[in-house]
């Protein structure tokens, strides 16, 4: 069907407007040569004009040679009219990305092994949901998210993360990023301080500052955030922490500090936002329960399916104290109504049928193996270095103890990429000789080759 808007009160007649639109589309190849145009009756119907108006436009275009007619067949676009498309100039930065693709070994953090996405199991589940789900799934749903998914998450979190949550306290969001962005607005930080672990990603900081908050960095050591550093003389709107596997340093926050944090939140009547983005992957010891299990009123828990399954799903969630649920529901409704229900029901079914935990077990084995290969390669290549953080997640931090100053441009020159921890720091200068190495997405041979390149790159770096 062909449709475009016509201005009824324009000086130009409707027939002229139709002519011009068709001319424009023919010249731009949006209507291709020899393509059949709709009959005058069809076009008149779709544009809401009389058939005579369309005939008038067609006659003019016929006269000008834009179209031709075949008796008892129809009206067609003439040949050879479209301008040759100019080749798009690729901007410089895109060129660099294309050129480095394929040869660069990128130790980017928090990137799951996309080639291990359980395509078949997901496709079967999704198809089953499409074919059998109640028809209400295809309509608007609760802004909190589909109840089947909220129940599945509540059950999963209770069993595996110690999180106490009723389905009605869970809000499904478009990734944890949206949850964090909602929460920041919900807790009204405009002009107020929010305490944030330092180092932390620039993205997280931007979410807070875009909402008008002022960042107060809180020092983080090899065990995670240091509660003694939290301000005593003023109340932050919230404290943001990643206690299960601090990003980027990789610490698992000890229980003593968790209790101190909760006590602080209680005393100051503030909130802890707990980002639990990759806690499923712990390779040594047993997972520590979520902080939310210590206090369901002061700790807000955020989770995501981006790291376990795929970032493309865009499904995350937050577990809220009851008094925040209604505001969050309204915010979600007025932002995007709700996250896609088909995906939600497919995910709920995937979890309830045990496929999710099966996938976690598979990925955990894979990441543990990749981590082992990386640790061995680092130890063999850089005997002087320290590996920081716990054996968890999809990245580790390596600290080089020689006098070399890591230079990002030397890494790129040697076709290897990794972020210097100091790039994540708010207070600069404490993590200059540390690199974040993500390994989740890298095959074993790439990990080994990447470390060889890193060695060459660091050898070329200047001594401090
Ligand atoms: C520490 C951390 N938390 C949360 C997220 C958000 O993930 P998403 O919005 O894909 O759920 C990310 C993304 O990389 C992350 O690194």
Domain coverage including residue 333: 118-353
Per-residue model confidence (pLDDT) at position 86: 65
Same domain, 69 and 124: no
Q: How far is CA 103 from CA 210, 413, 450, in A?
A: 36, 11, 11
Domain-embedded: residue 59: yes
Separation of CA 177 and ligand 1 centre (Å): 6
CATH number at residue 449: 3.90.1150.10
Total structural domains in the chain? 3
CA of 314 to the centre of ligand 1 (A): 10
Question: In ligand 1, which atom is closest to the CA atom of 242?
Answer: 1
Where is average pLDDT lowest: 97-111, 119-133, 234-248, 287-301?
Answer: 97-111
Q: Mean pLDDT across the stretch 347-366?
A: 97
Which of 307, 318, 339, 394 has most ligand 1 atoms within 8 Å of CB, for mutation?
307
84 confidence band (pLDDT: 50, 70, 90): confident
Domain stop point among 353, 369, 391: 353
pLDDT, position 102: 59
224 touches ligand 1 (CB under 6 Å): no
- Residue 299: give its domain's CATH number: 3.40.640.10
What is the tens place of the pLDDT at every residue in 120-169?
999 999 999 999 999 999 999 999 999 999 999 999 999 999 999 999 99
Same domain, 408 and 327: no
Q: Which two tokens stand for residue 387?
A: 């590996």
**Do residues 24 and 140 both lie within one domain?**
no
Q: What are the tens digits of pLDDT across the range 363-393?
A: 999 999 999 999 999 999 999 899 998 889 9
Query: Is residue 84, in this structure, part of any structural domain at all?
Result: no
Lowest mean pLDDT among 22-31, 130-139, 199-208, 343-352: 22-31
What number does the ligand 1 atom closest to the CA of 311 have? 10
Identify whether 86 is part of a domain.
no
87 found inside a domain: no
Q: Is the pLDDT of residue 358 over 90?
A: yes
278 alpha carbon – ligand 1 mean position (Å): 9
Tell me what pLDDT residue 85 has. Answer: 66
Residues 265 and 228 in one domain: yes
Summarised one tens digit per residue, pLDDT across range 33-54 is: 999 999 999 999 989 999 999 9
Mean pLDDT of 444-452: 97
**Average pLDDT, stretch 207-222?**
95
**347, part of any domain:** yes
The average pLDDT across 172-198 equals 94
* Ligand 1 atom with minimal separation from the 177 CA: 9
What is the whole-number distance in angstroms between the Cα of residue 45 and the centre of ligand 1?
A: 49
In a domain, 321, yes or no: yes
| 337 and 422 belong to one structural domain | no
pLDDT tens track for 314-351: 999 999 999 999 999 999 999 999 999 999 999 999 99
pLDDT at 403: 72
Q: What is the CATH number of the domain that holds 64?
A: 1.10.10.10
Domain boundary among 323, 353, 383: 353
Residues 36 and 149 in one domain: no
CA nearest ligand 1 atom 12, residue: 277
Do 138 and 214 have their domain in common? yes
- State phi, psi for 390 to the nearest 5 degrees: -80, 160
Whether 302 and 348 map to the same domain: the answer is: yes
Q: Is the pLDDT of residue 107 over 70?
A: yes
Query: What is the average per-residue pLDDT within 401-427?
Result: 92
- Token pair listed for 42: 């069809």
In a domain, 185, yes or no: yes
Does some domain include residue 85?
Answer: no
Averaged pLDDT, 65-88: 86
CA-derived radius of gyration, the chain: 29
In short, whether 311's Cβ falls inside 6 Å of ligand 1 is yes
Determine the average pLDDT of the residues in 45-73.
94
Q: For residue range 260-312, what is the model confidence (pLDDT) as tens digits?
A: 999 999 999 999 999 999 888 998 877 789 999 999 999 999 999 999 999 99
Pocket test for ligand 1, best of 108, 174, 175, 181 (most atoms within 8 A of CB): 175
Does the beta carbon of 38 sit less than 6 angstroms from any atom of ligand 1?
Answer: no
| 242 and 205 both lie in a single domain | yes
Judge if 174 and 300 occupy the same domain. Answer: yes
Any atom of ligand 1 within 6 Å of the Cβ of 122: no
Q: Is the CB of 40 under 6 A from ligand 1?
A: no
193 and 242 inside one domain = yes
Q: 325 and 402 share a domain?
A: no
């Amino acid at each position: 069907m062909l449709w475009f808007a016509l201005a009824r009160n324009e000086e130009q007649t409707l027939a002229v407007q139709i002519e011009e639109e068709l001319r424009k589309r023919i010249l731009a190849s949006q209507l291709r040569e020899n393509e059949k145009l709709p009959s005058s009756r069809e076009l008149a119907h779709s544009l809401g004009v009389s058939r005579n108006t369309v005939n008038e436009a067609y006659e003019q275009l016929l006269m000008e040679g834009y179209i031709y007619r075949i008796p008892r067949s129809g009206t067609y676009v003439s040949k050879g009219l479209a301008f040759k498309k100019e080749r798009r100039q690729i901007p410089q930065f895109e060129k660099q990305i294309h050129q480095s693709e394929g040869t660069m070994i990128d130790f980017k953090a928090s990137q799951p092994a996309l080639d291990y996405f359980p395509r078949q199991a997901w496709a079967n589940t999704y198809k089953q949901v499409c074919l059998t789900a109640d028809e209400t799934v295809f309509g608007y749903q609760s802004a909190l998210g589909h109840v089947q998914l909220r129940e599945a998450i509540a059950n999963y979190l209770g069993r595996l993360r110690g999180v106490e949550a009723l389905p009605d306290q869970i809000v499904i969001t478009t990734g944890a990023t949206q949850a964090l962005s909602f929460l920041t607005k919900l807790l009204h930080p405009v002009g107020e301080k929010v305490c944030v672990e330092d180092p932390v990603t620039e993205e997280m900081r931007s979410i807070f500052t875009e909402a008008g908050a002022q960042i107060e960095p809180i020092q983080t050591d090899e065990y995670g955030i240091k509660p003694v550093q939290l301000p005593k003389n003023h109340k932050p709107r919230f404290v943001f922490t990643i206690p299960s596997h601090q990003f980027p340093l990789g610490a698992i926050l000890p229980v003593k500090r968790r209790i101190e944090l909760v006590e602080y939140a209680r005393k100051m009547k503030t909130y802890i936002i707990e980002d639990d983005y990759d806690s499923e992957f712990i390779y040594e010891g047993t997972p520590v329960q979520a902080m939310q299990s210590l206090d369901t009123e002061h700790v807000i828990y955020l989770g995501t399916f981006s790291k376990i399954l795929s970032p493309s799903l865009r499904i995350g969630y937050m577990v809220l104290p009851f008094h925040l649920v209604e505001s969050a529901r309204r915010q979600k409704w007025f932002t995007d109504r709700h996250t896609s229900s088909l995906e939600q029901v497919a995910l709920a079914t995937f979890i309830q049928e045990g496929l999710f935990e099966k996938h976690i077990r598979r990925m955990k084995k894979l990441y543990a193996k990749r981590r082992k290969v990386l640790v061995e390669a680092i130890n063999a290549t850089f005997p002087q270095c320290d590996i920081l953080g716990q054996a968890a997640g999809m990245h580790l931090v390596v600290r080089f103890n020689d006098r070399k100053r890591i230079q990002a441009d030397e890494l790129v020159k040697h076709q290897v990429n990794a972020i210097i921890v100091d790039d994540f720091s708010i207070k600069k200068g404490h993590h200059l000789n540390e690199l974040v190495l993500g390994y989740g997405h890298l095959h074993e041979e790439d990990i080994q080759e990447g470390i060889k390149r890193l060695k060459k790159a660091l050898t070329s770096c200047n001594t401090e």
